[in-house]
Structures are given as structure tokens and as C-alpha cells.
Amino acid sequence: MSGPIVIVAGGTGGHLFPGQALAQELVRRGRTIAVITDDRVAGVKARFPGAEVFSVPSATPSGGGLVGMVSAVFPIARGILASRRLLANLDASAVIGFGGYPTLPPLVAAWMRGIPTAVHEQNAVLGRVNRLMGPRVSAIASTFADPKYLLSKDASKLELTGNPVRDQIIDVADRDYAASDDANAFNLLVFGGSQGARVMSDIVPDAIAKLPDDLRMRLRVVQQARPEDVERVAAAYDAAGVACKVASFFEDMHEHIAAAHLVIARSGASTVTELAVVGRPSFLVPLPHAIDQDQLANAQVLSDAGGAWLMLQQHFTAQHVADELIHLMTSPDQLVTAASCAKSVARPDAAARLADLVEALASGSTKK
């Protein structure tokens, strides 16, 4: 391998976190890393200490119509040209993309230059860029064994690696789930992905206010909320007499996951993977109206295994959540079982599996 392995990821947590986990594993192996991202480069640099981080033009077709497609063509074309120059200067040995339109220009440029290239799909449904690049890349790494929209002609390229999780998650993965009883606090963690979710702030505090006094007194809530919602969410918990910590972001989210007796969250790929690796039971509320329904598919995997309760957003009401909390807080054995079931579908070695694949590509071994 002559040059660095190039990781291509956008600035959202779902794409960024597995790229970060892969980088951590490759650095441990003595590999040099470079990162290509979009205009959110400042936030990405903090996740990849010591790596060179570059930004190239990109665009997401807006609205799905012809105008949206046309408006995206020119920035994507500029991104491809910039990526070709950048990859040549880096002398990249392999390129791996983690989905989303910011990965399209570097992946196309790598394909055009004949650089060994892979994509990683975190979700149970192949994203649109990964679908587009599937016939052109050397390998398709996947969290799930049979991702939706995988073409039969590309099936031979599929590598089941799992979804890599950051070192912080691995560090807490061996902490056993300890059930809460009537005499002890019950730790509830609420979050909606890396950007928070308004629906969590609207529903969960109202649900907790409906709990009987004895259950509310046991609760210790940690909730991630959008910046504009933090104050009102904290005020709602204070009014209900519930101990809480509310913030727009938690650097120590791994510690809060490990301490949780129950998690209420969206079902993005990173969330579902981290809950499985740590082994924590959850209510999962998929993002509604998504074109590919990827979060619904992710949640169903954990739900079918018995590790989570799937709640469609139309059923995610304060009264329904309150009823479920009452049931589970008084039935700790069910939570213990769910924690074990969540753990059963985990692939804690996903970063190592993916690093093996990328190193094989960089050395000239492909599945073509």
C-alpha cells in the first residue's frame, strides 16, 4: 500500500460514527488515514485526530424533481473533478464511502481512477448512493445479511461486517445490565440521533408526568434535545419532580447508554448498533415518511430479536408511553430479557472485520 486509506463520510452521526470507528481500528494497525467530507469539515476534524481532512463540493438533489436533480449536477461534477485531483495527490490505496450524497463525488472519482473502492451500508436498506455505486465498487460491506435493494448481480460483492462502533462504545460493552427494583433509581435515556428529535421533547416529558408518584420518584432522566427545546424540556421534568439532565449533545453518550435501564430513541443505524453492542432494551420510534423506510427496517431487526419495542410515530403518544413505562418499570425481568436479546444480535468486532476488508482491497485482493 503506497498511500493512505481514504474514508468518505458526510457530517451526520449515522455516516460519521462508523467511519470514525474504522479509522480508529486502522490507526491501531499502523495505517495512514485521510478523510473526505462535505462543507461540515470543521466538525469532522475533531472526530479524526491526526488525519488529513479535506472538503469537496457536493449536493443533495432537493425535492426529487427534475429541477432538484439538475441543480445538483454541477456541484457534484465539480466535486468529482476536485476529488480526482485530491486522490491523485494523496496516492490513495483504497477508498471507502459510508453513504449519503457527499460520498458520491469521491467514490466516482476513485472508480474513474481505478482505485480499489468499497461502500459500507449501515442500514437494513441500501441508500441511494450505495445503490448507484454498487455495480462500480469492488466490495459492498453491510451491517445486515440481506439489505433491501441489493442487486442480484452485486450479491457476490457483499461482505457481512456489521456496523463499526466507536472505541467508547466498545469500552462499555462488557458492563452487565443491572435491573432496577422498587428500592433503586430507574435510569431512562432519551435521544433522537445526533441532531435530536422534536417529537421526543414533545411526548416523553408529558408521558412521565402521567406516571404514578412512586414511579416518578424513581426516575433519573437523561435526554438529548434540540438546543431550542432544552429549557422547556428541563422545566417540564422539574415541574413533575423528576431528576433530569437535559442537553443538546452529550460527549459521554456511551456512559449514559451503559447506565440506562431503558432507552427511548429513533432507530438510525448507529443507534440500533450501539444499543445491541452494549445490550440495552429500548423503545424505538422510526423516523416517519422516510422514502426508503430505513429506520423502520433497522428497528424491526432489533424488535424481531426481542431486544426492543417498535413504536410507530402515530402510536407514540404520551398516554401510550406512560402505560408502557408503568408496565416495564414494574416488570424488570422483561427488561433483563430484552437486554440479553439485544446483545445477541451485536457484532462488536465489526470495525476489525471492515478493516480487514479495506486492507485486502488496498493490497489488491478484491471480490471482482
Segments in 91-197 forming alpha helices (H): 104-113, 128-133, 167-172
The confidence score (pLDDT) of residue 123 equals 92
**CB-based contacts of 44: which residues, under 8 Å, 6+ apart?**
9, 11, 16, 35, 37, 53
Q: What angle do CA 123, 127, 133 make, to 5 degrees?
A: 125
The confidence score (pLDDT) of residue 179 equals 93
Torsion of CA 296, 300, 302, 306, to 10 degrees: 140
Among residues 233, 206, 240, 223, the alpha carbon closest in space to that of 317 is found at 206
Q: What angle do CA 10, 356, 159 make, to 5 degrees?
A: 75
Q: Which three cell numbers stand for residue 1?
A: 500500500
Q: Is 154 helix (H, G, I), strand (E, B) or coil?
A: helix
CA end-to-end span of the chain? 19
- Averaged in consecutive runs of 10 residues, what is the pLDDT profile of the chain (368 residues)? 87 84 96 90 80 90 61 90 97 95 94 97 92 96 93 95 95 96 93 77 97 96 95 97 95 96 95 97 91 90 97 96 97 97 96 97 73
**CB-based contacts of 46: which residues, under 8 Å, 6+ apart?**
none
Cell 402521567 belongs to which residue? Answer: 210
- Residue 55 — φ and ψ, nearest 5°? -120, 135
Q: How far apart are CA 120 and CA 162, in angstroms?
A: 9
Among residues 94, 97, 105, 89, the alpha carbon closest in space to that of 5 is found at 94
pTM of the model: 0.90
The confidence score (pLDDT) of residue 196 equals 58
Domains of the chain: 5-165+348-362 (3.40.50.2000), 170-344 (3.40.50.2000)
Q: Is 284 helix (H, G, I), strand (E, B) or coil?
A: strand
The confidence score (pLDDT) of residue 193 equals 66
pLDDT tens-place string over residues 353-363? 999 999 999 99
Q: How far apart are CA 276 and CA 163, in angstroms?
A: 11
